[in-house]
Amino acid sequence: MIAAAPMEETVKREFEELFREHFQFVYCTAYTVTGSSQDAEDVIQTVFMKLLQQHFLLRARDNPKPYLYRAAINASLNIIRSRKRLDLTSDFDRFDTLRGDGPFAPGDAAASSLVKAMSQLNPLAVEILVLRYEHNYSDAQIAKMLGKSRGTIAVTLYRARKRLKRLLQTELGDKL
């Protein structure tokens, strides 16, 4: 193996604990926004490496979850926006874990357009939507997590759904 000095053991242990505690939350968040396992894994690398690089950011030390969540949303949106020209519809087979209990089969145009439309929202709206629909948070929990008032969450959620609907109608027309 490479002949580099070993990481300081305590730092490594601390990092591993933090990683294992928050991995699933960050991964699921990234997967919901990007719709791709590969992209979700890239987001994991980005988010946690940044944390490691900056020796556990001061603001992330005490309460890492909100920091990691925001970083995951931003990194996911960056990935989606960086491949603007990629037609997600044609790549939709990658969405291998769509909810099985809903009316949308994998490959559904509405669902694929939804992911595309999400990337056009502002990051706060995406954060709120993912917390609500992927992680099943209530408005109060979302407000606490993001440090916003419940009113802000409710209004943002309302506007986000409205904008999404408009974007999807433009995309899908009568299908929605």
Partner 1 sequence: MKHRGPDIDELLKHGLPSASSRPKEYMDSISNRALEQLLSKARTIEAIDDPEAKSGMPVLGFLRRWAPVLVAVALLLAIAGVEVWRQNNTIAGIESADGVPYRVVGNTLVLEDGSRVELREHSEIRLERADDGVKIRLKKGSVIVNAAKQPAGHLYVQTRDVTVSVVGTVFFVNAEEEGSRVAVIEGEVRVKHGETESTLKPGEQISTNPSIPALPVKEEVGWSRNADAHIALLLQSATAVPRDAFELASIRPTAFSHDGGGERGAGGNAGRRSGRPYDDPCTDAGPFFLKFDPSRVDITDVPVYGLIAWAQGIECKPRYGSDFLIGGPNWIRTDGYDIQANIPPGPAAYTEGRDFSMGAGRTMKEQIMTVRFRNMLQSLLKERFQLVLRKEIREMPAFVLTAAQSGAKLTPWKEGDALCLGNGDCRRTGASGQTPENISGQKQTMTRLAQQLEGLLGRTVVDRTGITGEYNYAVSFDWVVNPSFGPPRPPAGSPREPGSPPPSDQSLFNALEQTLGLRLEGTKLPMEVTVIERVERPSEN
Q: Which residues bind partner 1 (CB under 8 A)?
A: 1-7, 12, 15-16, 19-20, 23-24, 27-28, 31-32, 34-35, 37-42, 44-46, 48-50, 52-54, 75, 78-79, 82, 95, 97-104, 108, 110-111, 114-115, 129-130, 132-135, 161, 164-165, 168, 174-176
For tokens 């690089």, name the residue: 53
Q: How far apart are CA 27 and CA 80, in angstroms?
A: 15
For tokens 């020209």, name the residue: 85
- Name, in order, each residue with C-beta under 8 angstroms of 16's C-beta and a sequence gap of 6 or more: none
Residue 3 or 62 having the CB closest to partner 1: 3
Residue 100 or 147 having the CB closest to partner 1: 100
User: Per residue in 118-148, is it b (16+ CB within 10 Å) or e — as a string?
Assistant: bbebeebbbbbbbbbeeeebebeebbebbeb
Q: How far apart are CA 65 and CA 127, in angstroms?
A: 13
Query: Residue 173, exposed/middle/buried by CB under 10 A (0-12, 13-18, 19+)?
Result: exposed
Q: Least distance (Å) from partner 1 to the CB of residue 15? A: 8
Q: Least distance (Å) from partner 1 to the CB of residue 120? A: 14
Residue 152 or 169 having the CB closest to partner 1: 169
Residue 62 or 174 having the CB closest to partner 1: 174
Q: Least distance (Å) from partner 1 to the CB of residue 150? A: 19
At 56, list the tokens: 């556990």
Q: How far apart are CA 159 and CA 12, in angstroms?
A: 43
Q: Least distance (Å) from partner 1 to the CB of residue 135? A: 8
Q: Least distance (Å) from partner 1 to the CB of residue 67? A: 15
Residue 56 or 147 having the CB closest to partner 1: 56
